[in-house]
């Protein structure tokens, strides 16, 4: 049984069909990379999985359960966590407080356990030196780390990452990938939207390409990247 399954999910904004019958599944422990041109509907797909947006039709299943009608906080408590493309920490709270909040409210941990989780996640993500700084004062790299750390503090089974490598230097992106690799090794299932293709390729077990809200291609990463249609649509390369 897949950990996550979407069945013919649709979402329109007015006349714009942003998600046009997407079906996909992700096995436990798998990393699925999502690629697609700007405006293809990738973030909307995440919103539909996390519950930030309700589908017009279709079904979202998580751990064998139909979660289509569940609100985001209940999906989070069931083990789904996500990062946002634009980091959304509580800017006036410290990094540590942000993580305790995520562990308590997203991960449903009692306060003492949440403190310990926050501490562990600070170490895992290299944020320990910044624990007592207001989140709003962090650099871009550390804001991205905090975005990941907040998701990790909920102790997720399924991690949804939205363009977490965007805007980072090559070295910073490599550090992030190394960290994601450690998370993957712990068995966490990941779905990762990313325009930094080489970062995505270094971690993904499978790629899923979206164009105009529909599946364009899916499969083994190198084969998908070599697909002439994908090269034309996504990379602007003439087949
Ligand atoms: N709340 C909304 N209301 C109206 N239109 C929306 C809304 N959210 C998204 N859209 C539109 O849906 C389309 C898909 O947006 P989405 O953010 O899902 O794309 P994306 O593939 O994540 O793009 P990018 O790579 O630029 O982040 C875009 O045309 C966008 O303007």
Ligand 1 close to Cβ of residue 60 (< 6 A): no
Instruction: Please check whether residue 50 is in contact with residue 80, taking contact to mean a CB–CB distance below 8 angstroms.
Output: yes
Could you say which of 155, 176, 193 is where a domain stops?
155
* Residue 65: Cβ within 10 Å count: 10
What distance in Å separates the CA atoms of residue 77 and residue 191, rounded to the nearest whole number? Answer: 18
- For residue 193, the enclosing domain spans 1-79+159-239
The closest residue, in CA terms, to atom 24 on ligand 1 is: 38
Residue closest by Cα to atom 17 of ligand 1: 43
Q: Which of 139, 155, 171 is the last residue of a domain?
A: 155
Q: Single out the residue in 155, 176, 192 at which a domain terminates.
A: 155
Residues in the chain: 239
Per residue of the chain (239 residues), give pLDDT as tens. 999 999 999 999 999 999 999 999 999 999 999 999 999 999 999 999 999 999 999 999 999 999 999 999 999 989 999 988 777 788 889 999 999 999 998 878 898 999 999 999 999 999 999 999 999 999 988 998 999 999 999 999 999 999 989 888 999 889 889 999 999 999 999 999 999 999 999 999 999 999 999 999 999 999 999 999 999 888 776 65
As for the ipTM of the complex, it is 0.95
53: left (phi over 0), alpha (psi -120 to 50) or beta: beta
Q: Coil, strand, or helix at residue 135?
A: helix
pTM over 0.80: yes
Over its C-alpha atoms, the chain yields an Rg (Å, rounded) of 18
Whether residues 144 and 171 fall in one domain: no
CATH number assigned to the domain comprising residue 61: 3.40.50.300
CA 71 to centroid of ligand 1, rounded, Å:
20
Could you give the CA distance from residue 174 to residue 188 in angstroms, rounded to a whole number? Answer: 19
The phi, psi pair for 140, rounded to 5°, reads -60, -45
Same-domain check for residues 172 and 75: yes
Q: Is 38 in the pocket of ligand 1 (CB under 6 A)?
A: yes
């Amino acid at each position: 049984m897949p950990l996550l399954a979407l069945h013919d999910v649709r979402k329109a904004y007015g006349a714009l069909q942003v998600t046009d019958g997407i079906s996909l599944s992700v096995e436990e422990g798998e990393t699925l990379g999502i690629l697609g041109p700007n405006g293809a509907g990738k973030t909307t797909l995440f919103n539909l999985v996390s519950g930030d947006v309700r589908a017009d039709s279709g079904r979202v299943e998580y751990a064998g359960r139909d979660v289509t009608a569940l609100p985001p906080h209940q999906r989070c408590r069931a083990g789904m966590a996500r990062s946002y493309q634009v980091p959304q920490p509580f800017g006036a709270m410290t990094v540590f407080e942000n993580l305790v909040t995520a562990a308590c409210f997203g991960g449903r941990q009692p306060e003492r356990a949440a403190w310990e989780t926050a501490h562990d996640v600070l170490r895992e993500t290299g944020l320990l030196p910044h624990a007592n700084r207001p989140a709003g004062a962090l650099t871009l790299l550390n804001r991205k780390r905090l975005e990941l750390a907040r998701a990790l503090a909920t102790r997720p089974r399924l991690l949804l990452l939205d363009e977490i490598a965007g805007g980072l230097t090559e070295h910073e992106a490599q550090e992030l990938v190394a960290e994601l690799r450690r998370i993957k090794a712990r068995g966490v299932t990941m779905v990762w939207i990313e325009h930094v293709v080489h970062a995505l390729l270094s971690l993904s077990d499978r790629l899923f390409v979206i164009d105009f809200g529909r599946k364009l291609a899916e499969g083994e990463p190198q084969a998908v990247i070599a697909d002439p249609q994908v090269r034309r649509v996504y990379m602007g390369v003439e087949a």
